[in-house]
Amino acid sequence: MNYINRFCAGWRDLMENKSDPRTSEWFLMSSPLPTAAICLAYVVIVKIVGPKLMENRKPYKLKNVLIFYNFLQVIFSTWLFYEASSTGWLTDYSYRCQPVDYTRSENGMRIARGCYWYYISKFTEFLDTFFFVMRKRYDQVSTLHVIHHGIMPFSVWWGVKFTPGGHSSFFGFINTFVHIVMYFYYMLAAMGPQMQKYLWWKKYLTLLQMVQFIMVMVHAFQLLLYNPCNYPIAFVWWIGAHAVMFYFLFSNFYKQAYKKKRIAAEKKKDREHKYINNNDSTKDYHYGTTQLYYSPTDKMEESYSTTRQRVFIGSKN
């Protein structure tokens, strides 16, 4: 019982005396429990409740909703990036070691509010997954996707509670820039198959995210060697560990999604060439086309559906 009392007293001291009093009264900032509960509810909805509700329903067609949603995310991310840039990271912040401004000055409060709205943005990104479930795109609701979206609000909460600004806010600064590019891509993809020819750069989005995590790792862990501004080491490990985890998750995704598919496509192409060469003298013609590419029993609807499905593989529309 004594251990429980000591833990409760220590927790109360941490939340009330060690945190930033400027943000303590803001919505959801008094305790991490509501944020943790929302994140847990998100996982249950997208992995269990949502698929169950959609089991006997047709996929929703959300083209206009997706275009509008992604457009708003571009605007929101652009504003967050502007706030992070103009209040510190592109003005007077040090990339070597930057302490938190805990004052109630105009710039100090503006930085803190920017961090808080970045935290709120992590909840709005839950809609990405909800739209996947409503459209029955369960292949997109991967482990990587759910972990990435589900853990971010809880992770960012601690930064807003204790260090709203300073060195660890570099993660939000870089991340909002990446999201501008990412949601712009998704907005174009949602417009339909006619936009696919302009989206050749999709795989570079994953590379951009991986570069982002490398930058965050280097920026955070440098303080383990030299910390002239006495930045809280706990948050160095917190931010750095998240960057390491996400780097390896995204790296694994990249290898599986692109390199293995490319190798498989090359092998398939080689097999097709060998098949054509070996059977060149025994072609079975139907309306001037070989059996390899045409069957008179094929239906136009099936051909169109297959092509359309290939066009949209890996996209968010």
Q: Which residues are known to be catalytic? A: 148
Q: Which residues contact 273 (CB under 8 A, 6 or more apart)?
A: none
Is-contact 264 258, C-beta < 8 A? no
CA pair distance 120, 28, nearest whole angstrom: 10
Longest dimension (CA), the chain: 88
User: Which whole-number Å values give the CA distances from 61 to 191, 295, 309, in the listed order?
Assistant: 12, 32, 15
* Cα–Cα dist 314/194, whole Å: 16
Interhelix angle 33-44/143-162, rounded to 10 degrees, is: 170
Closest Cα to residue 232, out of 293, 151, 162? 162
